[in-house]
Amino acid sequence: MFRDRTEAGRELGTELEERGLDVDVVLGIPRGALPVARPVADALEADLDVVVASKIGAPGNPELAIGAVASDGSVWRNESLIQQLGVPDEYVDEEAKSEAEYAREKAERYRDDGHVPDLEGRRIVVVDDGVATGATARACLRQVHEADAGHVVLAVPVAPPDSLSELEAEADEVVALETPRDFGAVGRHYSAFPQVSDEEAIEYLEE
């Protein structure tokens, strides 16, 4: 149990520092990851920026992620769930276009041009406040790889073991402080887990 996102970020930063990671850029996934990513970037003496993705919801159940798409259009599809639910490809493609546009607009709130900084050949840590299904994290990691980053680490305070093992295919390294089997939801593992507004998240970028 973490007291709040900032405490989780300090612990995560310490863990990454002790591993001797040499990092150029820390990318937080807005909005909830920014309070975690700020102390991580400070501990590693790295630049802080964002990478943005949006879930693709199932027909009639938008909270059930059948995929996710990043602001550059990088898509992760949960093929097994799509097949299980019988979701038409046309639906997935249309939703992916819509959610990619939403992600681009969201990225533009955080940056003037909305684009991830030049990541080619650089050492990147992607930070979230926790992973449940890992849908948005997958799309974000794919965007970072598409930008030709040299080495990509996903770092989170908490995640279930099965999601972590699947995410290992999307990153060069995956780091999680806690990996409870009885996971539930990310917020269960924080004493305080309030919503983070865009304004608050941007303040962490500007610190």
- pLDDT for the residue 114: 56
- Contact assessment for residue 56 and residue 103, using Cβ atoms and an 8 Å cutoff: no
- pLDDT for the residue 63: 87
Report the b/e string of 37-67 with b at 16+ CB within 10 A.
bbbbbebbebebbbbbbbbbbbeeeeebbbb
pLDDT in tens, 41-61: 999 999 999 999 999 999 999
- pLDDT for the residue 92: 96
- The domains located in the chain, with CATH, are 5-52+111-206 (3.40.50.2020), 54-106 (3.30.1310.20)
What one-letter code names the amino acid at 33?
Answer: A
pLDDT band at 115 (very low <50, low <70, confident <90, very high): low
Average pLDDT, integer, range 164-190: 93
Distance CA 110, CA 90 (A): 31
% residues pLDDT > 90 (the chain) = 85
pLDDT at residue 116 tops 80: no
Average pLDDT, integer, range 130-156: 95
pTM of the full structure? 0.93
Q: Are strands 61-70 and 53-58 parallel, antiparallel or unpaired?
A: antiparallel
pLDDT at residue 78 tops 80: yes
Closest by alpha carbon to 106, among 145, 71, 143, 68?
Answer: 71
What one-letter code names the amino acid at 182?
Answer: D
pLDDT at residue 26 tops 60: yes
- Contact assessment for residue 58 and residue 87, using Cβ atoms and an 8 Å cutoff: yes
pLDDT band at 65 (very low <50, low <70, confident <90, very high): very high
The pLDDT mean for the chain works out to 93
